[in-house]
């Protein structure tokens, strides 16, 4: 009985110590990683492949993973995707996209508070333009949802954080290519 009591006390002490270690700064996922989604409107769509390769090269150089995809709609060509890196490298990547990436007319970035990107690959991947990918909110919002939101004006929609937590990501081919 005394031995069982000591085992229970010991297991409680160990589990408490483990919880304290993982709750300390530096151990949480948000302390170590940085993830974001982006949409880059291109000045000239003829350079989309070259810019995609530049993004992929930068990701590889920084040790990041994620994806980039060329999209075109209504005479607007864009590159969309997600990136996840170590915290410092992810912030550097975001800054590079905003200030140094040539060929961009505008860049919209949404940093994920939970750092988790929705499509995971073992490396940074260039996706086929025909693959259906989009989100409930911008950047890279699904066209049908964008249209509904503009028609409803003032209707309540979920915040991006709520959509991200719920895994609200549309990709018809996600299971085939991971």
pLDDT per residue as tens digits for the range 74-111: 778 999 999 999 999 999 999 999 999 999 999 999 99
42-to-6, 89, 151 alpha-carbon distances in Å: 66, 24, 27
Which residue would you say has higher pLDDT here, 163 or 104?
Answer: 104
The 3-class SS string of 23-78 reads: HCCCCCHHHHEEEEEEEEEECCHHHHHHHHHHHHHHHHHHCCEEEEEEEEECCEEE
pLDDT per residue as tens digits for the range 97-150: 999 999 999 999 999 999 899 888 989 999 999 999 999 888 998 887 666 665
Give the residue from 5, 74, 69, 6 showing the smallest Cα distance to 38: 69
């Amino acid at each position: 009985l005394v031995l069982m009591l000591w085992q229970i006390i010991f297991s409680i002490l160990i589990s408490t110590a483990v919880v304290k270690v993982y709750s300390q700064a530096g151990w949480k996922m948000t302390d170590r990683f940085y993830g974001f989604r982006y949409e880059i409107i291109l000045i000239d769509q003829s350079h989309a492949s070259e810019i995609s390769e530049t993004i992929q090269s930068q990701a590889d150089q920084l040790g990041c993973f994620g994806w980039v995809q060329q999209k075109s709609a209504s005479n607007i060509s864009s590159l969309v995707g997600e990136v996840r890196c170590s915290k410092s490298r992810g912030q550097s990547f975001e800054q590079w996209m905003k200030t140094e990436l040539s060929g961009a007319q505008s860049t919209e970035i949404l940093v994920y508070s939970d750092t988790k990107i929705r499509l995971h690959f073992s490396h940074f991947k260039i996706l086929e333009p025909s693959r259906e990918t989009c989100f409930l909110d911008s950047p890279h919002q699904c066209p049908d949802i964008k249209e509904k939101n503009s028609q409803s004006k003032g209707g309540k929609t979920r915040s991006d954080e709520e959509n991200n937590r719920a895994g609200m990501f549309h990709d018809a081919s996600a299971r085939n290519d991971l």
